[in-house]
Structure 1
Amino acid sequence: MSSATVTIRLREEDIAALDRYIAAQGRGRSRADLVAEIVSRWTAGRKEAALPHDEGMRPEELNASNDS
Structure 2
Amino acid sequence: MAAAKQKMAVDYSAEPASRPVSDEAILKVAKEVVVKFIEVGRLSPANFDETFQNIYKTVHDAVRS
User: Which bracket does the TM-score occupy, shorter chain normalised?
Assistant: under 0.3
Q: Normalized against structure 1, the TM-score is what?
A: 0.27
Answer 1 or 2: which has greater helix percent.
2
Structure scoring higher RCO (CA < 8 A, sep ≥ 6) equals 2
- The structure whose Rg is larger is 1
